[in-house]
Amino acid sequence: MNITFFCTCLLENLFPGVAKAAVELLETFGHRVRYHAEEICCGQMAFNAGYRPEAKKLAAHLIACLADDEIIVTPSGSCAAMVRRHYADLFRGDAAMVDDAAELGKRLFELSEFLVAFGDLGKVHGDLNARVYFHQSCHLTRELGVTDQPSMLLSKLKGASLVGPERQAPCCGFGGAFSVKFPEISSVLLGDKAAEIALSGADLVAACDMGCLMHIWGGLRRRGSTVPVYHLAEILTGRGEAPSLP
């Protein structure tokens, strides 16, 4: 299929390796990937910080940028959720923009959601031979409803087993700007998450959101843990490459 890749500002500027892995993954599955370098940001950070005009500007730009793309895939649960769940609120009172936003939402997928929805499970191959703690990000699960797809994909890798709580675990404490506005609370929740990961006996940690991952990774390393931390895209290639986060 012809896919447009929505990189997200976090991956563009801080984790290009993850974006690269996601593109290569999509290509491995036989898709033709396009990318618009004019894309900037979905506006989530500004919106959540209370800066509606700035968020609107960024969101309007994204909607325009992706107006002609049939299918858009992004390796970020929270960015996909921003578009699909919050653009209507962001543009409330502006019926035309609300419509455009809704229309974009219909064409935009989170990566794992896309891969499973379009039946690409069979194309996942390779060895993992590890116990994976998959971190279920809040927006990915609660706002997008993507609860099973990542584990469905991971279980296709040889030797992969999922460890950790069956049910939705509490928030890791990232929450975007919350992580620096209330760092004391954020780090308590991070400590709980790190303890949970240690308890699970996981060989590696994975997730579909780099925001959560950089926070979890940062906490693990600070505590002296060397557990590898991967974005899902980096694992699914099955090539066993090193993750972006060292």
Instruction: List contacts with other proteins (CB under 8 A).
Output: 7, 9, 11-17, 19-20, 23, 35, 37-38, 40-41, 45-52, 54, 57-58, 89, 138-139, 142-143, 170-171, 173-190, 214-215, 217-219, 221-222, 244-246
Q: In terms of CB distance, is 128 or 210 closer to other proteins?
A: 210
Q: Which residue has the tokens 């500002």?
A: 9
CB of 174 to other proteins, least distance (A): 7
Q: In terms of CB distance, is 124 or 219 closer to other proteins?
A: 219
Q: In terms of CB distance, is 104 or 229 closer to other proteins?
A: 229
Q: How far is CA 204 from CA 42, 133, 187, 220, 225, in A?
A: 29, 6, 21, 11, 11
Q: In terms of CB distance, is 58 or 73 closer to other proteins?
A: 58
Could you tell me if 7 and 35 are in contact, meaning their C-beta atoms sit under 8 angstroms apart? Answer: yes
CB of 179 to other proteins, least distance (A): 7
Q: In terms of CB distance, is 37 or 96 closer to other proteins?
A: 37
Q: Characterize the bridge pairing of strands 108-110 and 127-134.
A: unpaired
Which tokens in the block code for residue 44? Answer: 């989530």
Sign of CA dihedral 25, 31, 35, 39: negative
CB of 186 to other proteins, least distance (A): 7
Q: In terms of CB distance, is 20 or 107 closer to other proteins?
A: 20
Q: How far is CA 144 from CA 31, 137, 235, in A?
A: 23, 10, 22
What whole-number distance in Å separates Cα of residue 150 and Cα of residue 111? 9
Q: Please name every residue paired with 37 in a beta bridge, in sequence order, or none if there are none.
A: none
What whole-number distance in Å separates Cα of residue 89 and Cα of residue 83? 10
Could you tell me if 176 and 45 are in contact, meaning their C-beta atoms sit under 8 angstroms apart? Answer: yes
Going by the DSSP 8-state scheme, the letter that residue 102 receives in this structure is: H
Q: In terms of CB distance, is 39 or 124 closer to other proteins?
A: 39
CB of 77 to other proteins, least distance (A): 12
CB of 158 to other proteins, least distance (A): 29
CB of 112 to other proteins, least distance (A): 19
Q: Which residue has the tokens 């950790």?
A: 164
CB of 133 to other proteins, least distance (A): 18
What whole-number distance in Å separates Cα of residue 179 and Cα of residue 185? 8
